[in-house]
Chains A and B, each alone.
Chain A
Amino acid sequence: MSADRLSTILSKPWRSWLVAAAIPSAALLELGAHVIQTCSVVGEADWKAAREYVAAQIRPDDLLTFAPRWADPLGRQYFGANLATIEREARADESAFPRAFEVSIHGGHDPSLVEWRRTDRRRFGGVLVTTLENPAPVRVLDDFVSMAASASRVHVSIVQGGAEVDCPFSRGAPGSGALGFGPAVAADRFACPGGNLVAPTVLADPDYYPARRCIYARPPGAGGTLRLRFLGVALGRSLRGHHALYAEAEQPAQGPPVTIAIGIEGSLVGQAVHRDGESWKEFEFDTSGYAGTHADVVVDIGAPSAERRMYCFEATSR
């Protein structure tokens, strides 16, 4: 519409009524909305009531999520670390949870549960607790991240030029820093020659949310390989995992790829490559030939260069 035509329309008598009604109405609407929005803060009592309900219902293998995602710190505060565990918060994905409790405020929903079947819904003031069932839950046999928390089930070494050097399990000062430091390293970890530390951590991948619980395992570079031997792993039909680099290490996407190779009893069952920019990337290898057995699983991680290759992976047998 030309400005001339617009001008003609606006000069009509009804324009006066339109403006006379629209401007004050819009102003009052905005004021009213502000009052409503600032008065609709979810109270502590509602959170606590929801917590009591969930605490009475939840089973160890259930998922607990908070929505919208900005409510997550509040959920963790009110529900506590015993319910909002790091394993639930920093999950690799939702596939292993048979049931989920979605605790939401302001109409938020966890998009990862959109395919799940709703079985119950309870409201506690401003907090809505929805129970959902996973349409196809997967049974996890062994979780490599949990195994890496102690020396009893993992052996870590660096393979360089044909020689294999141990990375002993040790207790030291935890490692953390300001923004840009990368994933924190727990006090209990495997310490490799040259300062490479291997331990379970919680990673911020390039999406920054959700958190990712994984094994911090930087490749040594220069043709070397970081080797993690998981002892006596209960094997099923597949090994499924995810890998990523620390958010700032993937940006700008100029680093060399990191390769993870998984072998059982000397045979390669699969290998996956992670390239910068791929963020939290899934891999899955067929282990049906070993289903129902226990065996050592060897994970080799390598990259042409070690610089900023702040790599992390998780895997489960299922």
Chain B
Amino acid sequence: MNLRAFRLPDRIGRWDHLIGAALGGCYVASLLATAGGIGFMRDESTYFAAANAYVRWWLLLFERGSDALRQGVIDASWGYNHEHPALMKTLFGVSWWLLHERWHVFRFASDAYRFPAMCMAGIALYVTYLFGAQAWGRAAGLVAAVLLALMPRVFFHAHLACFDVPIMTMWLVCVYAHWRSEETGRLGWAIATGIAFGLALETKHNAWLLPAVIVPHALFAQRRSLLRGLRVGRVSLPASLVSMAVLGPIVFLALWPYLWNDTLARIEWWFDFHLHHTYYSIEFLGRNYRGPQSPKSYLPVMVVATVPTITILLFVVGTADRAGAAWRRLRGWAVLRSGDTAGPHEPSPRGETDLLVALALVVPMVPFFMAKTPIFGATKHWLPAYPFLALLCGRGFVLASSAIQRALRSSGVDRSRLVIDVGLFATVALGPLAITAHATPFGLSTYVPVVGGTAGGATLGLNRQFWGYTSQNAATEYLNSRAPRNATVFIHDTTFDAWLEMQREERVRADLRPVGAPHDSRFALVEHELHMNELDYAIWVVFGTDAPTYVVTHDGVPIVSIYRR
């Protein structure tokens, strides 16, 4: 093949699926390559156990189906961690059983548990690329996918056997399928929307908000046919809405055996659990929040402090462009309504992409402006918004590239669009790449340069970590090499299950004995968060010293203090 003559076809097609898949594949590979440095979160240790329980039930179902279907057996397996739906935990379990236990693809169980969530991150890039390419061109899609991948918090959460990146992906997939349904009018995409909605519900409760994106968009996009139908006394609902209403609950219920008995009561409990969720402590601007009123500035400040600034700038450019387009449409409508058919107006795009992207971006963020919404998850609870933020970045990139080409031409310099795109892409991707690569494994401690980096975030009083996963770093940097044999370690926020799994995987020395109270320990860890100072001070009292023997740092900022008695 003559590479110089090679040119991608204008139509988005199989080459683009290859590009998207390659992006996703590279991302999964990079996640796998860096996962060993990230300790196990408190929640992961719960999900590992749930994954094992769920996959054992599936094995039992295949071996002794009628036994497995008895309520007592279902509840014994699926009753564990039933506050979250089962899809991802089932996938973690299946991956563990097949890729670790049976086929030995992964040496360590944790890689197998984490693999499905990593694949979900890869799928997010794939779909983001396709969405962007189809909406605003290949460059937009590519930049959107890459800048989504290079958000430090997204990269961090994409490693974990948790649900935050998977729900980001399922949110995106559902919105994309609906968009394609509107664009193409094909029934297949409408069915895919319903299935995706069911899978999203089965991933995490963020999916409850998806109808707030899809319903108004679908009604607006099909307003003319709806009105025409109503005029003749016929109600013709958009196909993707019907599909969501019918297939969504079926998929949701089918994949969660815990709901097969006492269905309504258990669904009600599930809603109640999340609508009245416990507040956990989190620091924001130097203050500990552990209940309402949640600060309304939390989301904007955290977005600015954690998403690379160039990404936000491109988002602003892209958003300004789409807002301008929306304004022109509004003005056109106004002119038409006034009877001036010769005035300027823009035709209605079939998929109403701008409206859909705007809704899919804004809806996941809305709850975080409410005073009663807990904020303990830092940025992870609004990750579903980020692919759409990235898509608008992609649009911003295309505009920036065009502007550069125009500027160069006006100065008599003529460069091909490809050269400009490649140069600009390298320029805008390098910073996020450097920040994201440097953030690992301390993704939750990392803040972007505009607020002063990790040290700047700490100075501002922004949360430095949660979930107790940095005890692994305490082990690799200090305990594994310097603690005496069989020493006891107060493992602070790390769960015993997580610690034992880290020992099984040789991340933590096997003889180090975890204990649950400082006074029982010879070594005590403090994973620094503002409210965890309580344990720092307790250690001072029982150890008789306030001087840690070693401090794990990231960019010079304390992450874990290690005390030795």
Query: Which residues in A have some Cβ–Cβ distance to B below 8 Å?
Result: 2-4, 6-7, 10, 13, 15-24, 26-28, 30-31, 33-35, 37-38, 40-42, 68, 70-71, 73-74, 76-77, 79-81, 84-86, 89-90, 105-106, 108, 173-179, 181, 183-187, 201-204, 206-209, 211, 246-248, 251-252
Q: Flag if A81 contacts B547 (CB, 8 Å).
A: yes
Query: Which of B44-52, B66-74, B323-331 lies at the interface?
Result: B323-331
Instruction: Count residues of chain B with CB under 8 A from any CB of chain A.
Output: 77
Task: Determine if A20 and B403 form an interchain contact, defined as CB atoms under 8 angstroms apart.
Answer: yes
Chain B window 538-557, contacts with chain A (Cβ cutoff 8 Å), 1 for yes, 0 for no: 11111001111111010111
Chain B residues within an 8 Å CB radius of A186: 541-542
**A67, chain B: closest CB distance, angstroms:** 10
Q: Which residue of A lies closest to B468 (CB)?
A: A179
| Least CB separation from B550: chain A residue | A77
Chain A residues, Cβ within 8 Å of B528: 70, 73
Residues of chain B within 8 A (CB-CB) of A178 are 492, 516-517, 535
Interface pairs A-B: 10 shortest CB-CB:
A33-B449, A3-B327, A41-B556, A37-B453, A184-B538, A19-B403, A204-B534, A184-B541, A31-B431, A202-B537
Contact of A37 among B308, B309, B456 (CB under 8 A): B456
CB-contact partner of A34 in B288, B434, B546, B549, under 8 A: B434
Question: Across the interface, do A204 and B438 meet the contact criterion of CB distance under 8 Å?
Answer: no
CB distance from B75 to the nearest CB of A (A): 29
When the two chains form their complex, are residues B455 and A34 in contact, meaning their CB atoms are under 8 A apart?
A: no
Closest-by-CB residue of B relative to A108 is B459
* Nearest neighbor of B549 in chain A, beta-carbon distance: A77
Which residues of B are at the interface with A, using a C-beta cutoff of 8 A? 288, 290-291, 308-310, 313-314, 317, 320, 323-324, 326-328, 331, 399-400, 403-404, 406-408, 410, 424, 427-428, 430-431, 434-435, 438, 448-450, 452-456, 458-459, 464, 492-493, 516-519, 526, 528, 530-542, 545-551, 553, 555-558, 561
A184–B518 touching, CB < 8 Å: yes
Quick check: A211 and B309 within 8 Å, CB to CB? no
- On chain A, the residues within 8 Å of B519 by CB distance are 173-176, 184
Q: Are the C-beta atoms of A247 and B546 separated by less than 8 Å?
A: no
Report the minimum CB–CB distance from A55 to chain B (whole Å).
Answer: 14
Question: Residue on B with the closest CB to A88?
Answer: B546
Tell me whether B458 and A70 are in contact (CB under 8 A): yes
Which residues on the A side are within 8 Å of B291 (C-beta)?
251-252
Please list 12 pairs of residues, one from A and one from B, whose beta carbons are closer than 8 Å in the complex, sorted by A's number: A3-B324, A7-B324, A16-B404, A20-B404, A34-B435, A38-B453, A73-B558, A77-B549, A184-B541, A187-B542, A203-B537, A211-B546
Instruction: Please tell me which one of the listed residues A13, A86, A106, A211 contacts residue B410 in the complex, with CB atoms under 8 A apart.
Output: A13
Whether the pair A211, B533 counts as a contact (CB closer than 8 A) is yes
A177-B517 CB under 8 A given contacts A16-B403, A70-B458, A106-B459: yes
**In the complex, chain B residues whose CB is within 8 Å of the CB of A202:** 537-538, 540-541
